[in-house]
Amino acid sequence: MGLTVDALITEISCEVVGDTALHITGVGTLDKAGPTELAYVADKENRKKLSASRAGAVVVNRDLAADLSDEAAERTLIFVEDAQGTFLAMLARLRPPRARRQVGISDKAHIDSSAQIGKNVNVHPGAYVGEDVVIGDDCDLLPGVCVSDGCHIGNRVTLHPRAVLYPDIEIGDDVIIHAAAVVGADGFGYRFIDGRHERIPHFGSVRIENDVEVGACTTIDRAVIGETVIGEGTKLDNLVIIAHNCELGKHNIMVSQVGMAGSVTTGDYVVCAGQVGIADHVHLGTGCTLGPKSGATKDIPAGETYIGAPAQPVVETMKAVMSQKKVPEMRKQLRSLERQVAKLTSLLQDSTGGDNNTQEAAA
């Protein structure tokens, strides 16, 4: 099992210092890789950890090559322009993904007679495909998938086990929807009438554009009217909630447990870190970033980085945090000042009282 360094660098533009005959049996991080395993260094921070690593071979960004002569004696170094990308390419050769199973249309799946299914599609046992569904070429519907009536799915789409598409959902090409994700459920909308919460019906749909990935257990609600939109190239992590009528731009990144209230809009290349919450009707400008656990209650300008709850520019938030760290010291200083003021006040009162006694005696 495994490959030599020489075999791994075939067709890769690189410079190697060390033993190219070294047999690589696996991969690991710098702190865990062993003498027959491959790791990588792509930044200065990890460069500092290299000397303590036991990795037998390391892929290194070429711009970090200086002063590594001592390391070359300990291990094989592979210098490339993009260490992470090269490492991932080598990993794919060492641990190739399982081949796509060709199961065709399982007789244990339910396929409505009105459904249109493209070429080279796999529908696994237990999958459900409803009325008037259109599925493109080279798609995979894994066990337990539910594609409800009227859905349109593009080419090369993968729906992992238990993914659910409610009726009339539109999915573009090259989309991945992971296990137990739900697309097109009604949004959380109610009117309070006569002491009761009356459900607002949702007549809209969801449109997911090309090259989108939806994480496991993520939910994308359908619009009240119109569409909830996930823009091209956007990636949603696990456990993300996108509410009704949200419209996300292209190439957004939403990390786990991000929650968007209704009618949030975003520009392109927006990043929301873990557990970010966004209030309804807020707009996130193109290229902005919200730090972990931020709460956005108003629009975020394009290109800005905000953090905190409520979210503020990162510089202002950091100043506030640093100020809070000084509070214990400030309290000590305040108590000391209070004692000094009390002492001075007492001395002043004694001094004033002494003068009055003197005046009374003289009278």
Kindly tell me if the per-residue pLDDT of 361 is higher than 80: no
Average pLDDT in the 276-287 region? 98
- Span 109-150, pLDDT tens digits: 999 999 999 999 999 999 999 999 999 999 999 999 999 999
Spatial distance between the Cα atoms of 124 and 161, rounded to a whole number of angstroms: 9
If one compares 69 and 4, the residue with the highest pLDDT of the two is 4
287 — pLDDT class (breaks 50, 70, 90): very high
Place of tokens 């337990």: 144
300 — pLDDT class (breaks 50, 70, 90): very high
Distances from the Cα of 204 to the Cα of 23, 168, 210, 221, 329, angstroms: 57, 9, 20, 10, 57
Distances from the Cα of 233 to the Cα of 23, 254, 272, angstroms: 38, 12, 15
Spatial distance between the Cα atoms of 38 and 301, rounded to a whole number of angstroms: 42
21 — pLDDT class (breaks 50, 70, 90): very high
Q: Which of 233, 265, 267, 270 is nearest to 255 (CA)?
A: 270
Whole-model pTM? 0.85
Q: Which of 87, 73, 69 is nearest to 18 (CA)?
A: 73
Yes or no: say if 250 and 268 are a contact pair by the CB < 8 Å rule: yes
Residue-wise DSSP of 209-238: -TT-EE-TT-EEEPPSSSEEEE-TT-EE-T
Yes or no: say if 121 and 137 are a contact pair by the CB < 8 Å rule: yes
Spatial distance between the Cα atoms of 202 and 222, rounded to a whole number of angstroms: 7
Say whether 152 is catalytic. no
- Span 139-194, pLDDT tens digits: 999 999 999 999 999 999 999 999 999 999 999 999 999 999 999 999 999 999 99
Read off φ and ψ for residue 205, nearest 5 degrees: -145, -170
Yes or no: say if 175 and 215 are a contact pair by the CB < 8 Å rule: no
Specify burial of residue 113 (Cβ count, 10 A radius: 0-12, 13-18, 19+): exposed
132 backbone φψ class: left, alpha, beta (φ>0; ψ -120 to 50): left
Question: Token pair of 350, please?
Answer: 């004694």
Which residues 6+ apart lie within 8 Å of 96 measured at CB? none
Yes or no: say if 41 and 53 are a contact pair by the CB < 8 Å rule: no
Helix 314-325 and helix 327-362, axial crossing angle in degrees, nearest 10:
50
Q: Which of 275, 273, 301 is nearest to 288 (CA)?
A: 301
Q: Which of 160, 178, 244, 283 is catalytic?
A: 244
Helix (H, G, I), strand (E, B) or coil at 352: helix
Average pLDDT in the 279-302 region? 97
Spatial distance between the Cα atoms of 281 and 118, rounded to a whole number of angstroms: 39
